[in-house]
Amino acid sequence: MAILIDGKAVSAAERELIKEQISKMTVKPGLAVILVGEDPASQVYVRNKKKACADVGIYSESYDLAAETSQAELLELIDKLNNKDDIHGILVQLPLPKHIDETAVINAIVPEKDVDAFHPVNVGKIMTGDYDFLPCTPAGVMCLLKHYNIDPSGKECVVVGRSNIVGKPQAMLLLHANGTVTICHSRTKDLKAKCLEADILVVAIGKPDFITGDMVKEGAVVVDVGINRKADGKLTGDVDFATVEPKASYITPVPGGAGPMTITMLLKNTVKAAELKGE
């Protein structure tokens, strides 16, 4: 029987610390959240982000823009927020409508306010290890490992998925923690063999129940970053919990594992942005 990694509990504990930290600050951290269009999943994420800000004492402003908003209009808003003193972090919820170039939008946010850590300057800093902002989802995973005293140092760490948001930065953070890191993806020849080597397996590929028990080594730590909605409306991860759990030493459930940590890391980055500005 694996130990369940309780992302809700760790997240709540971390948010208490953030709240305490904010209560001692002279400046109230401020976050602007921009949503373009009416994607229902994005609406839920944005609502949760704003609520989390209010809970810990971060000022937030939200901009809900119509799906037809032009790229120029969005860039104009970002420019305004880049120069707004009470806003320390700017978050543009992805994905954006097809007519908007995501890279152009990410690049328009000044790196000092890029609390998602998506800007190339921040991505580069993550690569060198000299970073201000940690990418939220991978940082959440690292925070969970720390809370459960799971040290990646010297371990075989396998990341399944190579997205800019999760897979690539996750690999980098595990590497900084002295793990031996392998990144697997859709062209990986023998995914099962690679996964079977993992002491720590982090899965972020967006395919429901993709990783099954036969792909996991006895005693492995399994972190499931996937959130998929099944036909019956229930949420499931990228890991087939029923067959993987009996083999794992630790495992994250979905929901309630890696998910709750992402927003908590966003709050941390916003506080960091406000602190850095105040220096």
Residue ranges that bind ligand GUN, judged by CB under 6 A: 91-94, 116, 136-137, 165, 262
Element counts in the chain: helices (H) and strands (E): 10, 11
| Least spacing, CB of residue 8 vs ligand GUN, in Å | 18
Minimum distance from residue 155 beta carbon to ligand GUN (Å)? 26
Residues 6+ away with beta carbon under 8 Å from 204: 137, 159, 160, 161, 163, 166, 167, 170, 225, 226, 238
Question: Which of 116, 132, 209, 238 is labelled catalytic?
Answer: 116
- Least distance (Å) between residue 13 CB and ligand GUN: 21
Residue number, nearest CB to ligand GUN: 94
Record the tokens describing residue 82, joined without a space: 């880049």
In angstroms, rounded to a whole number, what is the distance separating the alpha carbons of residues 4 and 182? 24
Order of strands, edge to edge, in the sheet holding 180-184?
3-4, 250-251, 221-224, 200-203, 156-160, 180-184
Per the listing, tokens 């940082």 go with 139
Q: Is 93 a catalytic residue?
A: yes
- Please choose, from the candidates 172, 158, 160, the residue with its C-alpha nearest in 3D space to the C-alpha of residue 123: 172
| Cβ atoms within 10 Å of 9's Cβ, excluding its own | 13
Return the number of the residue (220 or 267) whose C-beta is nearest ligand GUN. Answer: 267
Instruction: Identify whether 49 is a catalytic site residue.
Output: yes
Contact, 226 vs 255, CB < 8 A?
no
Q: Which of 93, 155, 168, 268 is catalytic?
A: 93
Q: What's the token pair of residue 176? A: 């900084």
Write down the least CB distance from residue 225 to ligand GUN, Å.
10
**Nearer to ligand GUN among residue 215 and residue 226 (C-beta):** 226
Minimum CB distance to ligand GUN smaller for 248 or for 266: 266
Beta carbon nearer to ligand GUN, 173 or 191: 173
Residues identified as active-site: 49, 93, 116
